[in-house]
């Protein structure tokens, strides 16, 4: 069935189905550039190696990178992708991750792509795990295998908003379970937005415990804390 394919950033119908983005939005596309935190990939001032968060608290993951700064355009795009069936937007996201994250991927050499899992109850409700969609598409583009069943969400975490960073981390850590040993391989986590890093940290702790040699992440956007 052929229904119109839309531009993931302005939501206008694309004339050519092979296009991932309309011409106007392609011109306005601004991935992160300039000085980036060597740990989490967020922008830093020139000559700074780490952002204030990474300098003070550190993180459990090895390193990560986000492609675009999160803003209103991206918020709307991701809402349509996650909740309103615009799955094709994910094809553009994964392509952008592979292009703008190419240097990182070449340096990191991950041997497995792992999505952030949804709790089964949440998955039944939403019917779609955006993170797994990105992992699958990135796997097809890069040839790196992906595994949807390596990490499971075993507890449905309550809203984290009232918790401080340490409580949040502890709360999340107990929420994941790695189902098999990893035998010293570098792993890449995919997701849509990176904010505080608490999800990446919690998953990293579990993946390291299971024997991962390194844990990296690649996300479409990075938001403010």
Q: Supply the Cα-derived Rg of the chain in whole angstroms.
A: 17
Name which of 67 and 118 has its Cβ closer to Zn ion.
Answer: 67
Minimum CB distance to Zn ion smaller for 27 or for 164: 27
3-state secondary structure of 159: coil
Smallest distance, Zn ion to C-beta of residue 71, A? 15
Q: Using the minimum distance from each CB to Zn ion, give the nearer residue, 66 or 129.
A: 66
- Find the helix or strand (DSSP H, E) in which 78 lies: helix 72-83
Which one, 39 or 168, has the nearer CB to Zn ion? 39
Instruction: Tell me how far, at minimum, the Cβ of 148 lies from Zn ion, in Å.
Output: 28
Closest approach of Zn ion to the CB of residue 155, in Å: 27
Binding site for Zn ion (CB under 5 A): 7, 9-10, 22, 25, 37, 39-40, 51, 54
Nearer to Zn ion, 25 or 202 (CB): 25
Closest contact distance (angstroms) between CB of 52 and Zn ion is 8
Query: Measured between alpha carbons, how far is 70 from 9 in angstroms, rounded to an integer?
Result: 12
Q: How far apart are CA 11 and CA 143, in angstroms?
A: 30
Min dist. Cβ of residue 22 to Zn ion (A): 3
Distance between CA 25 and CA 52 in Å, rounded?
32
Q: Within 10 A of 96 (CB to CB), how many other CB atoms are there?
A: 18
Whole-angstrom distance, CA of residue 32 vs CA of residue 43 = 7
């Amino acid at each position: 069935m052929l229904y119109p394919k839309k531009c993931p950033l302005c939501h206008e119908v694309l004339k050519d189905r092979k296009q991932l983005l309309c011409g106007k939005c392609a011109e306005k596309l601004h991935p992160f550039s300039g000085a980036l935190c060597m740990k989490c990939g967020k922008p830093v001032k020139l000559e700074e190696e780490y952002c204030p968060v990474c300098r003070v608290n550190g993180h459990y993951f090895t390193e990560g990178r986000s492609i675009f700064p999160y803003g209103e355009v991206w918020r709307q795009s991701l809402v349509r992708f996650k909740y309103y069936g615009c799955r094709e937007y994910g094809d553009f996201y994964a392509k952008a991750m592979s292009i703008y994250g190419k240097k990182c991927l070449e340096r990191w050499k991950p041997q497995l792509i792992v999505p952030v899992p949804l709790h089964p109850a949440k998955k039944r409700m939403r019917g779609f795990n955006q993170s797994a969609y990105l992992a699958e598409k990135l796997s097809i583009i890069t040839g790196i295998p992906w595994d949807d069943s390596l990490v499971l969400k075993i507890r449905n975490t309550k809203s984290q908003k009232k918790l401080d960073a340490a409580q949040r981390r502890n709360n999340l850590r107990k929420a994941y379970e790695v189902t098999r040993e990893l035998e010293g391989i570098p792993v890449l986590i995919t997701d849509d937005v990176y904010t505080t890093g608490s999800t990446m940290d919690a998953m990293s702790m579990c993946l390291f415990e299971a024997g991962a040699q390194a844990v990296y992440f690649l996300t479409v956007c990075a938001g403010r804390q």
